[in-house]
Each structure stands twice: as C-alpha cells, then as structure tokens.
A and B are shown apart, each in its own frame.
Chain A
Amino acid sequence: MTEIGFHSLCKKFKKTSVIDDLNLTIENREFFTFVGPSGCGKSTILNMVAGLESITSGMITFDGHSIDGLPPGERDIAMVFQSYALYPHMTVRENLAFPLSVRKVPSADRQREVEKIAALLALTPFLSRLPRELSGGQRQRVALGRALIRKPKVFLMDEPLSNLDAKLRIEMRTELKRLHREFPVTTIYVTHDQEEAMALSDRIALLHEGALRQCGPPQEVYAAPANLFSAGFIGSPPMNFIEGTLLLDLPFLASRLAEYRNQPFIAGIRPTDLRITGEKRENTLSGRVLFLETTGETTWIDLEWRGNRIRGKTGPVRRTARDETAYFTIPPEKLHLFDKSSGERLW
C-alpha cells in the first residue's frame, strides 16, 4: 500500500551522469515498468529504490517519507533478480523461509507461510530440493515466492523473465499478472523488452540515456509516441521514418502537412499501418520490393521508396516477389509527425 515518489533524482558514477533529474510518482498498487535499451539507467533506479546503490542527489519517497539512509532490509521491499539469486546452499524451503528467519519470525509461523506460498506457486513437491535440482521455471517461481512471502510494501523486479526460454516467458507473464491481481502491491518492473512491458504494465516509463522520454499507459505510448525515441522503441517491427520534405508533393497528405511546410520534420508510420496491395488504386504509392519475410499469419515486405527503406504488412498470402513493384497506402490518420531537430512530436 505504497506510493513511490522520485524527486529530482540524480545518479552519477564518477563524472558520468546515469540518471538525470528524474521526477515521477508511482501510484499505490500500480504495476509500473521502466523500459529502455541496456545502459539507459533502469536497473540503477531499481537499485536506488532497493537501497543497494546510493543516491547522488534528490530523493526517493515511500508515501511521502524519504527512505534515504534506510538499509535495504528495513525498506520493506522484495526483489526478484534476473538470475533469481536463489541461495544455492539452501533448499527451496529454506530459501522461501529465509526473509522470515532473518526477521526472527517464529518457526511455526514460518512453516505455515512457506506451505501457503508453496501451494500458491505449485512448489509443494519441491520443498526439500536444492535450487540446482530445479528447472528454470521452477527457480523463477521460488524467487517469486521468496519475494512474496514477506508481504512487502513494494515489489521490485529486475528483468525477471529474461533467463527463460520464449515459451516459458509468455507463461510466466500471465503468472505475474495473476499474482499482481492476488497481491495488489506496488510493483516496479524493469525490462529491455518493450513487448513484455506493454503486456504487463499499468503504466510504462521509457528511459533513454538516463532521462525519462515518455510515461503513460502502454496503449497511449503506442498510439501517440511523444518523440522519435519513443516511436522507434515501442512497437515491433519498429516504425518507419521518412524525411518530411519528400511528402509535400503527395496530394492526399499535402493538406495535413501544409502547416509544417517551412519546418524540417520526420514522418513516422507503423509497418502495421502501411497497407500493401497488389494493384494500383487511387492514392496508392509504388515501391520496389527488396525483401519478404513471412511469420505465418502475416508477411512483412521491405520496399524501396524514393530512397527510403520502409516496411509494410500484407496477409498470409504472398502476392509479390523480389524486385517487383508493390503498391501501398499511407492512411493520413495513422501518420505521426516529429520535429526533425528536437525529435518531439508535432501531432
């Protein structure tokens, strides 16, 4: 039941700035994700919340109270690590009970809590095994259990799914959602995988080079990326970018773009919004097919169009081949426009 506040938070290693003036509030019970490429500072934020790394300046608050100076063990947080960080010399039971035993919870209560958590996570048959005797997914669940058992105020998760194989990762996503519904605890999640961030979160925060680039519900960030970084990072395959001046002579777009006539800009269109058709129609543009990639239900086509390489989507049936001409449309309402120099969204 905790609201987390970041107030002008800065972190420097030696002279390099890792986090630069972060201001943000994470709501009570929210599932909040920091997402960004590696080195963007997201893990540093998590470690500062955990108390594992010092703050250079600024403040982190839980429910309005600064937590600066509190050792990690007194912050009432729990953390799940990428490598799970299970204690290799303890059995599953001992691992689960460890946070309670450090806090001197009586043995009987400890026992009861362990049984409860183990049942919840389907770990009961494995209680006397050592971590090395478990599968990846089972280890992951032990790590979650060890975090849950104490009923912490805040949950921190540092790329908890990235050591799992693709299939298991999707399963665990669902599991995480379920757990968050059952234990609605404020959760900070860190990942470099934008799809995972979108699937799990109430809100996501995009980080790049230590700065917050955009923050909001996943659909909102997807629908209206605030800047070029956001637009390029969220969505798969990534958005096509086309330099603005090229578009001015397209009659059906000219009217929308007219007001930026004297401004250099970049237009973005998601591959899923670019409709490719076999034949020429009204308002279609044409390009040379460079490359085809099929994933089953969709086929992605890379086209060369006026010196740009752009990607678009067609149905499962491949209607075209390399070096042929393909026709496509750009629905004006799906177009995103960004200022070329600042990268900020125009509309």
Chain B
Amino acid sequence: MKRLVFAALLMLVSLYCLGPFLWQGLTSLKTAADLTRLPPLLPHPPTLEHYRSIFAGHPLLRIIANSFIVATASTVLALSIGSLAAFALAKLPVPGKGAVLLLVLSTSMFPPIATVSPLYLLIRAAGLRDSPVSLILTYTSFTLPLTLWVLTHFFRNIPDELYRAARIDGCTPWQSFTRIMLPLAAPGIFATAILVFIFSWNEFLFALTFTSTTASRTIPVGIALFPGLHEIPWGEIAAASVVVTLPLLFLVFFFQRRIIEGLTAGAVKG
C-alpha cells in the first residue's frame, strides 16, 4: 500500500515535469486541422509536415548553428579562463582571497537588465552588433562567477599536498596546474562546462538585444520571434521547440549525475 502511494506520487511528479513537453511533442506531429480541434488528444494521422516546413522555409539550421558556435565558444573561453583563476584561488597564496571570491560571487547577482544598456552601447561602438562575438564575450563574463565558484570548490577538494608534491618534484605553478591539477579536476570541469553550455544555449535578453538578423540570431530569439503571417504557427513552433531542446535532453540524459554535481557544488557545502 505504502509502496503504491509512493509509486503514484513518483508518477505524478514525472507527469508534471514531462507533461508540457510531451504535449509540445504531440502538437508538433498534428496536422493543421488537428491543431484547432480537441479532442482528439493524439495526432491522427501523425505528420512530419511541420518539421519539413521549419527546415525548408525557415533559417532554423542557421540559427541552430549560431547557437552551437556561441555556446561552444563561450564554454571553452569561460572554462579556460575560469579554471586558471579557480586554481589560483584554491591553491595559490592570493592576498585577499576571500574578498576576490566574494566580489566574483556578487557580480553573479547583477541583474542582466542592469548591464544590458551600457553593453549595447559598447558593442555598437565596437561594431560588434549582430556578431556572435558580442554574445560569446558577454556569456563568458556572465558565466564566469558560476564557473569560478564551482571550480574553486572542485580544486579545493584536491589535497593541497598534491600541489606541494608537484612543486617539489620540480613543477612550476603552471606545470603543476596542467600536469596534476587539471587532470584531477576534469570531472568538475566537465560538469561546469555542461552548465555553461546550457546557460549560453538558453540565454535570451542579451541575444535579443545584440542580434538583429539570422547572421547571429540564436535559438531563444528565433523561437520567441517565430515568424507567422496571420496567426501563430503553433505546429511549427512546436516542431522547432522539440528540435532545439533535443541536444539539451541528450545532455541531461547522459550527464544527469555530472549536472547535479555541478549545480549543487558550493551551494550545499557552503
């Protein structure tokens, strides 16, 4: 009995979490006529018409490619810069270490809306409007606090004695970073990379402000500004939603443990 209640509760939670997305999936398979008709709940017959149409009639592939470029470049940049700094904060004698970490953390609390207008002016002045570079730099900076926080936590978990042993064995600080610390922090770096990638893939405000054409437009903007002539093309939006969410589902499915490790690192142990 108790186990039945437990199983029922789990089902309920799963349904709550998955329901809206499943519905979107069903919608994407419905014919135009079915879209404006309820019931039936299930598409009959299912059609791939909307998928065909988003790839044929829309620059969706281009937008997805933009997102891949932006998210990948931001992740690589944020992780390289962040792991250097996190290593220094965790293992090297930095005067005012606590203050630096606090400052970094406090920048993560800055609301994006507060920095978007000056950044826009900067980017306009630098001629980077509608270029992926503007987004890459912004995302790198905005994910750095998280990167630093989580990676510092991971580097701290590596015993100090390993760093000292490496130094005595003849490594410079740089060599001990690349030969000892980096390989040992790899799981943490991977976890953080996934988080940064997902953030960059999903970000909307900066993307909306800095991009104006499909040359640099990323997925969230593409979905938000999905073009429709007279009415909202629900079927195509649903199909596009499914397509752009699939890479994330893939990440979540295979790296669930890593993602949770990254999300909870630092937040739970203080």
Q: Is there a contact between chains A and B in the complex with CB atoms less than 8 Å apart? A: yes
Interface residue B172 (Cβ < 8 Å from any Cβ of A): yes
Q: Contacts A89-B183, A89-B184, A102-B175: A72 and B168 contacting too (C-beta < 8 A)?
A: yes
Q: How far is the CA of A52 from the CA of B168 in the complex (A)?
A: 8
Residues of A close to B166: CB separation below 8 A: 87
Residues of A within 8 A of B (CB-CB), count: 25
CA A51 to CA B166, docked complex, whole Å: 12
Residues from chain A with Cβ under 8 Å of B180 in the complex: 87
Q: For A99, what are the chain B residues with a Cβ–Cβ distance below 8 Å?
A: 169-170
B183: A residues at CB distance < 8 A = 89
Q: How far is the CA of A88 from the CA of B185 in the complex (A)?
A: 11
Q: How many residues of B contact A (CB 8 A)?
A: 17
Q: Which of B23-31, B157-165, B211-219 is near enough to bind chain A? A: B157-165
Interface assignment of B171: CB less than 8 Å from any CB of chain A: yes
Structural contact, A79 and B164, CB atoms closer than 8 A: yes
Q: In the complex, A146 Cα to B165 Cα: how many Å?
A: 10
Question: Cβ of A71: which chain B residues have Cβ within 8 Å of it?
Answer: 167, 172
Please judge, given known A-B contacts A89-B183, A89-B184, whether A81 and B165 are in contact too, CB under 8 Å. Answer: yes
Per-position 1/0 for A258-278, Cβ under 8 A of B: 000000000000000000000
Q: Is the pair B171, A73 in contact by a Cβ cutoff of 8 Å?
A: yes
If A85-B165, A88-B184 touch, whether A102 touches B159 (CB-CB below 8 Å) is no
Cβ distance A236 to chain B, nearest Cβ, rounded Å: 29
A residues near B172, Cβ cutoff 8 Å: 71, 73
Q: By the criterion CB–CB under 8 Å, are A102 and B171 in contact? A: yes
CB proximity of A219 to chain B, nearest CB, Å: 33
Question: Which of chain A's residues have a CB closer than 8 A to the CB of B179?
Answer: 102
Cβ of A77 under 8 Å from chain B: yes
Q: Do B165 and A79 touch across chains, with their CB atoms under 8 A apart?
A: yes
Known: A74-B170, A78-B168, A87-B162. 17 other contacts (CB 8 A): A50-B167, A50-B168, A51-B167, A72-B168, A73-B168, A77-B168, A79-B164, A81-B165, A83-B159, A83-B161, A85-B162, A87-B184, A89-B183, A98-B169, A102-B171, A102-B175, A150-B169
> Top 5 closest A-B pairs, CB basis?
A73-B170, A85-B165, A85-B161, A102-B170, A99-B169
Chain B residues with CB under 8 Å of chain A are 159, 161-162, 164-172, 175, 179-180, 183-184
Instruction: Name 12 interchain pairs, CB-CB below 8 A, sorted by A.
Output: A50-B167, A72-B167, A72-B168, A73-B172, A74-B170, A77-B168, A87-B165, A88-B162, A89-B184, A98-B169, A102-B175, A102-B179
